[in-house]
């Protein structure tokens, strides 16, 4: 069964009677005129459709809990949608914790994850009554226990492990292989458990956590991950007499950015996981645990697009034709960081069949600020609205003020209605944290 992560465009995308691209019943050219550009646009129906697909795909394994990986796109409005759809949150910073709490999220359904949590981060998590903390290393075990002891709290923890599995994705987004900054090596687990048993009395070990990477198209890696984790659960039970009842498998399911991408469906993803749980729980003679899944990119990636206004152009003699837009690497770092590719259309020329090869450049003072290289588009003119699909994940999350460029606004669209969910940054806000020492005046 096809699921939205296998589409390039939001499920409500169509060409309207004006010949313009429409998403969520809203004309993109009209949104550009109303809110300005660059502009992040999120289709609410696509987000909710994907969350429902995840829950439906795992309906035959009732002990599965869905946790939205908030690093993909974290706002108070998204927290509201996730809570309405019955999702928990996977959080990885104090800022994400604060945002979730400010949105009124039930923090007992949140997990705090990360490889270098600070004292302040941990204290905030505990004071917000976060449900579980995934512990990444020995330093954090000691720090977490000290903070929990000072707050007179017992904290549910998972030990994050590196299962030694590499997926075929960009090396920057592989996290489960042995040479990784994340998690305990399997050879360190016994020492960690002994510390928890003997010294860290404010920590309650309830399970293991592993995450093998992001933008994954394979299925076997999830089978292998469960094999490693369940084997370790059996070994821990036999050696330490501890029965671990919860397992966080991470997320990482890929999405379709261009026609070259071929991600698996959410239903195929669920089948691999549930079948592996059946197989390895029997093989290792352990009780089936409560499972947590952490989709992020596959929840919001396809649901989001970014629109820009075309500006200057340049034809290199005997070379490329460049068109610059009013955004770039400050609102979408992925092309510069990962050499990411996107599907691009002109929102106000959806029916135009003319074609020319162009390169879309950003406005920043960097030669590497290229959003799309050597793509075919209709003839671009100044003022055209350029739409980049599948930018819903890691666009805003990775945005910056490089060159002191303002961060864009974001809107949520549904049934012809558009609502601001992130205000466009102002110059006043850009400078509000700047301080001039008295001696400079």
Write the CATH number for 316: 2.40.37.10
61 assigned to some structural domain: yes
Catalytic residue among 26, 79, 92, 365: 365
Give residue 8's pLDDT band: very low, low, confident or very high (50, 70, 90): very high
Residues 311 and 259 in one domain: no
Give residue 178's pLDDT band: very low, low, confident or very high (50, 70, 90): low
Q: What are the φ/ψ torsions at residue 331 (nearest 5 degrees)?
A: -110, -10
Mean per-residue pLDDT, 325-344: 96
Of 276, 300, 324, the last residue of a domain is 300
Give the pTM: 0.94
For residue 255, how many other CB atoms are within 10 A of its CB?
25
Residues 56 and 139 in one domain: yes
152 assigned to some structural domain: yes
Helix spans in 395-435 (H)? 427-431
135 assigned to some structural domain: yes
The answer, yes or no, to whether residue 421 has pLDDT greater than 90, is yes
Tokens of 142: 């000691």
The answer, yes or no, to whether residue 92 has pLDDT greater than 90, is yes
Residues 102 and 128 in one domain: yes
Of 253, 274, 300, the last residue of a domain is 300
438 assigned to some structural domain: no
Q: Tell me what pLDDT residue 154 has.
A: 97
Residues 373 and 416 in one domain: yes
440 assigned to some structural domain: no
Distance from C-alpha of 271 to C-alpha of 429, rounded to nearest angstrom:
48
344 assigned to some structural domain: yes
Cα 259 to Cα 168, 185, 296: the distances in Å are 18, 37, 21
Please, are residues 36 and 30 in contact by the beta-carbon 8 Å criterion?
no
Write the CATH number for 205: 3.20.20.10
Q: How far from the centroid of its chain's Cα atoms is residue 173's Cα?
A: 11
Distance from C-alpha of 144 to C-alpha of 155, rounded to nearest angstrom:
9
Q: Tell me what pLDDT residue 173 has.
A: 37
pLDDT, averaged across the chain: 95
Residues 53 and 164 in one domain: yes
Q: Tell me what pLDDT residue 180 has.
A: 65
Of 300, 328, 349, the last residue of a domain is 300
- Burial bucket for residue 102 (CB in 10 Å: 0-12, 13-18, 19+): exposed
In tens, the pLDDT along 107-160 reads: 999 999 999 999 999 999 999 999 999 999 999 999 999 999 999 999 999 999
The answer, yes or no, to whether residue 175 has pLDDT greater than 90, is no
Residues 363 and 412 in one domain: yes
Distance from C-alpha of 322 to C-alpha of 311, rounded to nearest angstrom:
10
436 assigned to some structural domain: no
Please, are residues 233 and 286 in contact by the beta-carbon 8 Å criterion?
yes
The answer, yes or no, to whether residue 438 has pLDDT greater than 90, is yes
Domains in the chain, number: 2
137 assigned to some structural domain: yes
In tens, the pLDDT along 41-55 reads: 999 999 999 999 999
Q: Tell me what pLDDT residue 177 has.
A: 44
In tens, the pLDDT along 227-269 reads: 999 999 999 999 999 999 999 999 999 999 999 999 999 999 9
Helices 266-283/44-57 angle, 10° precision: 30
Dump strand ranges (E) for 316-343: 321-325
In tens, the pLDDT along 185-226 reads: 999 999 999 999 999 999 999 999 999 888 999 888 999 999
Helix, strand, coil tally for the chain in percent (to 5)? 35, 25, 45
Q: Which residue range forms the structural domain that includes residue 403?
A: 4-42+305-431
CA atoms 8, 10, 16, 20: torsion sign: negative
Annotation marks residue 128 as catalytic: no
Distance from C-alpha of 430 to C-alpha of 348, rounded to nearest angstrom:
31
Distance from C-alpha of 351 to C-alpha of 347, rounded to nearest angstrom:
9
Residues 116 and 165 in one domain: yes
Residues 108 and 30 in one domain: no
Please, are residues 383 and 309 in contact by the beta-carbon 8 Å criterion?
yes
Residues 279 and 409 in one domain: no
């Amino acid at each position: 069964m096809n699921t939205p992560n296998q589409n390039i465009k939001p499920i409500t995308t169509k060409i309207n009677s004006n010949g313009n691209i429409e998403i969520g019943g809203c004309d993109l050219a009209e949104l550009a005129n109303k809110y300005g550009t660059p502009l992040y646009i999120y289709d609410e129906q696509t987000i909710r459709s994907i969350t429902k697909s995840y829950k439906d795909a795992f309906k035959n394994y009732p002990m599965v809990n869905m946790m939205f990986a908030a690093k993909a796109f974290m706002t108070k409005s998204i927290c509201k949608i996730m809570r309405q759809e019955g999702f928990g949150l996977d959080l990885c910073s104090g800022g994400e914790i604060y945002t979730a709490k400010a949105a009124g999220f039930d923090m007992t359904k949140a997990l705090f994850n990360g490889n270098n949590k600070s004292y302040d981060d941990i204290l905030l998590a505990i004071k917000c009554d976060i449900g579980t903390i995934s512990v990444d290393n020995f330093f954090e075990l000691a720090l977490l226990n000290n903070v929990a002891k000072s707050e007179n709290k017992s904290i549910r923890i998972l030990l994050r492990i590196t299962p030694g599995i590499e997926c075929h994705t960009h090396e920057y987004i592989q996290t489960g292989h042995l040479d990784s900054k994340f998690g305990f090596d399997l050879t360190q687990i016994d020492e960690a458990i002994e510390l928890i048993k003997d010294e860290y009395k404010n920590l309650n070990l309830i399970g293991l956590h592993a995450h093998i990477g992001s933008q994954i198209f394979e299925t076997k890696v999830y089978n292998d991950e469960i094999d490693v984790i369940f084997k370790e659960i059996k070994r821990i039970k036999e050696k330490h007499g501890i029965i671990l009842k919860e397992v966080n498998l991470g997320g990482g399911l890929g999405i379709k950015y261009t026609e070259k991408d071929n991600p698996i469906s959410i239903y195929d993803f669920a089948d691999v996981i549930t079948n592996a749980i059946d197989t390895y729980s029997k093989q290792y003679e352990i009780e089936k645990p409560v499972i947590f899944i952490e989709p992020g990119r596959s929840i919001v990636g396809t649901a989001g697009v970014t629109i820009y206004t075309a500006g200057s152009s340049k034809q290199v003699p005997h070379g490329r034709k460049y068109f610059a837009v009013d955004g770039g690497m400050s609102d979408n770092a992925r092309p510069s960081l990962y050499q990411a590719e996107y599907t691009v259309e002109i929102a106000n020329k959806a029916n135009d069949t003319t074609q020319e090869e162009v390169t879309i450049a950003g406005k920043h003072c960097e030669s590497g600020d290229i959003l799309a290289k050597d793509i075919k588009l209709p003839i671009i003119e100044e003022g055209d609205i350029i739409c980049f699909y599948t930018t819903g994940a890691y666009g805003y999350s990775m945005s910056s003020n490089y060159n002191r460029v303002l961060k864009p606004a974001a809107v949520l669209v549904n049934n012809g209605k558009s609502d601001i969910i992130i205000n466009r940054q102002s110059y006043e806000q850009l400078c509000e944290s700047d301080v001039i020492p008295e001696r400079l005046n």
